[in-house]
Structure 1
Amino acid sequence: MKISETKPLKIVQVLPALNSGGVERGTVELARELVRGGHTSVVISFGGRMVDGLVADGSEHITFPVHRKSLWSLLQVRPMRRLLELLNADVVHVRSRAPAWIVWLAWRKMDPATRPRLVSTFHGMYSVNFYSAVMARAEHLIAISDCVKKYIIRNYKAEESRITLIPRGLDPAAFNHDACTPAWKKELFEQYPQLQDKHIILMPGRLTRWKGQEAFLEMMSRLVRLRQDCHGVVVGDAEPGKQHYFDELLAMRSSLNLDNAVTFVGHRSDIAQFYGLASVTCHMSNKEEPFGRTVPESLASGTPVVAYDRGGASESLSAGFPQGLVTPDDVVSFAARVDDLIDADAEIKLPENYYLSSQLAATLGVYQRLLKKRWGEVR
């Protein structure tokens, strides 16, 4: 189903904020493509640095305090109900637990004959409790990977017929072989001359313990013993209040004698260019990750990925570049695999369902089927 073939819809997405992260990027990308397809896109959040781009792409943004994980958020239920009635949308799509509670409590008191259809996306394997269970109260659920879908069925007892597996889609215009231009590389090397004439081993992701930056440093200490032509680059900044973890990583880098072999570049908006620059991208999360967006992004950019064989990252890597899979937590094998791939001719074939066009068609299919049920077109 192409967007242009569907009846124009009014879609409201709700999430806590629009600062950074995979959920936020996915929301903005879906909003942009909805507008391109002739639909009306509205996003409700507490705001953030991605709002300006969202609005510039044609969506409406409504600032609303849906971000607080607090009982005080219940005071927002009535205002949310009034807002939803005013918007008169076809579908409301919730993407996080705190806003899902506000939206669901508001939605359930609306007229069933006229209220919007309610969809939720499980972006993670949430802790199993009453608070998280609100995500399963939507009329239809979207799982971003097969492991997430199985998790929903196992822990929330949701019928499989209410769940659609839709991997996060990436934009081929953003992630491709040509993103890393000579002009961009020249500017980067002027800022970080230590990267020039090196094989870049990329570690993207916010700085948090479960993302595996410590394992990456251990891996790099082994890799540089095998060869001297590599340089590790960590892209991402520390989460709010977690600056101490960055300090720990810097201390660990020094203790491993990697000060001249690993560079932290902080938060960057040019991650697509870094994929193109890299010889290998690493995914080293120390627990099962719901999706692992960096894996298909790097593969779409033509850069091989090495990742532990678990979670959503394993699913996309198995589909596009199975040679990159390594036994979980085996840093020695990980370093050896990176070493092998640096000089190898990688054959990468990322399936179409990992691209934005496929995600959009599948998501619109969920919306349309729900609306058809209301219109009596599907019994």
Structure 2
Amino acid sequence: MSISLRSGAQLSLPSTETHPLAGRTVLQIIPELEAGGAERTAVDIAAGLTEVGARALVATEGGRLVAELQAKGGIWLPFPAAAKNPVSMLLNVRTFALLCKRERVDLVHARSRAPAWVALAATRALKLPFVTTYHGSYNARSTVKNLYNSVMARSDVVIANSGYTADLIRARHPFARDRIRVVHRGTDFSAFAPSAVSPERISALRSAWGVEPHQRIVLLPGRLTGWKGQKVMIEAARQLRDAGDEDTAFILAGDAQGRDGYVRELDDAIARAKLEGRVRRVGHCSDMPAAFLAAAVVAVPSTEPEAFGRVAVEAQAMGTPVVVSNLGAVPETVLAPPQVAPQERSGWHVPPDDAAALAEALREALALRPSARDALARRARLHVERHFSLASMVNDTLDVYCALLGR
């Protein structure tokens, strides 16, 4: 059976009549369904479950992805899953257990720490299979914090979204080492394909961002938070300007999510560098395929480890050169020397928090001649298609569910 996900990506699965999950009910729990890798994955897995004949429930407070979840056949169960107050979490255990009984849930999958504690208590009481996905690196600078994080490793199967994350779990929570399964975050390569983006979509974004026709774009997509490296980008932009670059616009695309103080710091840094008009905050972007295709280069200058690196995969799928910090899981997704020969690179690795190195890599990427850029784009697309497809992620996750329910 060949099915379509999100934007037409083909996924081969057994027919709904024979699939082991047909007729089963799987409940995912996540604080909100806003933008983000965990949220997007929850919707993708719900779509895959629906396609094989399972009931796909998502307990969450809501968010901009609820409409897409419902359009893909998933069922939204309004639930205060973002609650972090210990008393509220304790009360939520009973509510969640009753919800599982009412909906005849067969398996629960948690994607965030606070609701995972609620789900852990409820599933143990109900003797339900329990899965977690370790989506982030999670701050573990104290014993208490590491204990709080450990809930993500206390499930029957612990899904790690990268090799880096799996190593992190083994180091922090050695009791879970035999229950870890690496399932890389998957990308829909039908949506993230140059042929799928019309020139009008690119023009609309350039216009919305105030980019002049002659300007090239260096894009940094990501929520506005310090470790995403926006300040490093601003300093790299200053260095490139001082070295003679006059036709590049630097776009910071992402939500502030209430970090007003950090936004003011960014604006102050832009003003001090006299980069007003060249470095721009443009807020959330809802058309990332067009954004990547509009960009001459995509930068991921994180100063703390990323647990996966979705942006780098999606940009490579669009054939756009990427420059990433050599930190966390992102280097797993981008081929660069000395990992590979220079002629096999799919992007650039730079030391974290090094504006000079970032500026130099951006300069090299911007200076690529058309033939070299086309060759890099082909290598990058082939690389991510082989290793980070949406179909593989959905298949591997459903295999985890099948194994637990079969047991």
Fold in common (TM above 0.5): yes
Aligned with residue 109 of structure 1, among 91, 105, 125: 125
Identity of aligned residues (%): 33
For the residue of structure 1 that corresponds to 2:175, the secondary structure is coil
Matched, 1:325 2:368: no
- Deviation readout 1:123-172 (Å, 9 max, x if unpaired): 11222522221111110100011111111111111343310011110111
More deviation, 170-179/308-317: 170-179
Other structure's SS at 1:194 match = coil
Q: Which amino acid aligns with 1:174?
A: A
Superposed, which structure 2 residues align to 1:244-323 within 5 Å?
A: 244-318=261-335, 321-323=345-347
Residue 175 of structure 1 pairs with residue 192 of structure 2: yes
1:317-347 deviation line (CA, Å, top 9, x unaligned): 1389454112233221221111111232223
Q: For residue 246 of structure 2, what is the aligned residue in structure 1? A: 228
Which of residues 79, 82, 92 is equivalent to 1:76? Answer: 92
Where do residues 1-379 of structure 1 align in structure 2 (5 Å cutoff)?
2-4=12-14, 6-7=19-20, 8=22, 9-72=24-87, 73-110=89-126, 112=127, 115=128, 117-126=129-138, 127=140, 128-224=145-241, 225-240=243-258, 242-318=259-335, 321-344=345-368, 345=373, 346=376, 347-348=379-380, 349-373=383-407
Give 1:83 deviation, angstroms. 1.1
Cα deviation for residue 198 of structure 1 reads 1.6
The residue matched to 1:318 in structure 2 has which SS? Answer: coil
Q: State the shift of 1:364 in Å.
A: 1.1
Q: Any conservation in 2 of the 1:152–1:158 contact (CA below 8 Å)? A: no
In structure 1, distance between residues paired with 2:222 and 2:405:
37
Higher mean alpha-carbon deviation, 202-211 vs 321-330, is at 321-330
Q: How many residues align?
A: 368
Q: What one-letter code is carried by the residue in structure 2 that aligns with 1:239?
A: Q
Distance 1:370 1:120 in 2: 13
Q: Secondary structure at the match of 2:401?
A: helix
Please give the root-mean-square deviation of Cα atoms over the aligned residues, in Å.
1.9
Distance of 1:125 and 1:189 partners within structure 2: 34
> For residues 197 and 265 of structure 2, what CA distance do their matches in structure 1 show?
31
Alignment CA distance shift 1:280-1:189 (3 Å) = closer
Deviation string for 1:230-267 (max 9, x for gaps)? 11111012122x11211221121111111121121111
Output the CA distance in 2 between the equivalents of 1:129 and 1:235. Answer: 32
- Taking structure 2 as the reference length, the TM-score comes to 0.86
Quick one: structure 1 residues 195 and 76, their matched pair in 2 at CA, closer, same or farther if it must change by over 3 Å? same
Q: Distance in 2 between matches of 1:191 and 1:79?
A: 45
Comparing 283-292 and 123-132, the one that deviates more? 123-132
Q: Give the TM-score normalised by the residue count of structure 1.
A: 0.92
Alpha-carbon shift at residue 216 of structure 1 (Å): 0.5
Deviation at 1:269, TM superposition (A): 0.7
- SS of structure 2 residue aligned to 1:66: coil
Cα distance in 2, alignment partners of residues 360 and 54 from structure 1: 15
The more displaced of 125-134 and 285-294 is: 125-134
SS of residue paired to 2:195: coil
User: CA offset at residue 352 of structure 1?
Assistant: 2.5
Q: Is the 8 A contact 1:179 1:276 kept in 2?
A: no
Amino acid at match of 2:100: L
Counterpart AA for 2:92: Q
Q: CA deviation at 1:227?
A: 2.2
Question: What is the CA distance between 1:229 and its match in structure 2?
Answer: 2.2
